[in-house]
Structure 1
Amino acid sequence: MFILSLTYTAELSDVDLHIEPHVDWVKDGYDRGIFLASGRKNPRTGGVIFARGTKAEIDEIVATDPFTVHGVADYQITEVAMTRAAPGLEGLTE
């Protein structure tokens, strides 16, 4: 599994110009079975996505995020080998 931590690199007004396409991009990630969970950071400085796939697939999908394309956010990608999960979240483990 991968943790995608994105941090805004532009003013929120610039980020907001790309919110709708980004939300569509996130929906596509869920539809493709790649994204498992996602949400905004609090305070609103970026977001976090839990994803599955290969490193190459993750790199490819991150490169197509409108936030990446328009240079308003940077991603830190961390691979995690989950070995335990709470009941109901077993799908997060490998």
Structure 2
Amino acid sequence: MYIVSLTYTASLEHIDDALPAHRDFLDAQFACGHFVAAGPMVPRNGGVIVASNMERARLDAILASDPFARQGLAAYTITEFKATRLAPDLNLPRPEAR
């Protein structure tokens, strides 16, 4: 799994202009099962995406297609982790046994 932190590198006016396209991008990734959570940071200086079930190279390619990335509006920091525990009702793939 991955935690993707986006830090805005442009004004909120530019972010808001690109937001509908970014939301379409998110919708498509949720529909494919690539993303499992997403939302803005508080305060609103970026956002967070939780991604699952892919190789890092695939995630990098997906993020490169984000309108925020294509327009140079955000910088991305990616943290990979192995989920060894999940909440019982969370609809995610179960972690592999160690």
Scaled to the shorter chain, the TM-score interval is: over 0.9
Hey, which bits of structure 1, 4+ residues long, moved more than 3 A? none
The residue number in structure 1 matching 2:87 is 86
Percent identical pairs in the alignment equals 44
Provide structure 1 residue ranges, at least 5 long, that are not aligned to the other structure. Answer: none
Question: Aligned to 1:68, what secondary structure does the other structure show?
Answer: helix
Q: Compute the displacement of 1:89 (Å).
A: 2.0
In the superposition, the TM-score normalised over structure 2's length comes to 0.90
Output one character per residue of 1:46-86: Cα deviation in whole Å (capped at 9) or x when no partner: 11111011101100000000000000101101111010122
Q: Compute the displacement of 1:90 (Å).
A: 6.2
Note if contact 1:85-1:92 (Cα within 8 Å) is conserved in structure 2: no
Question: Which 10-residue stretch deviates more, 84-93 or 44-53?
Answer: 84-93
Q: How far apart, CA to CA, are the structure 2 residues paired with 1:92 and 1:40?
A: 24
Cα root mean square deviation, aligned: 1.2
Kindly tell me the number of residue pairs found equivalent between the two proteins: 94
The residue number in structure 2 matching 1:7 is 7
Q: Compute the displacement of 1:40 (Å).
A: 0.7
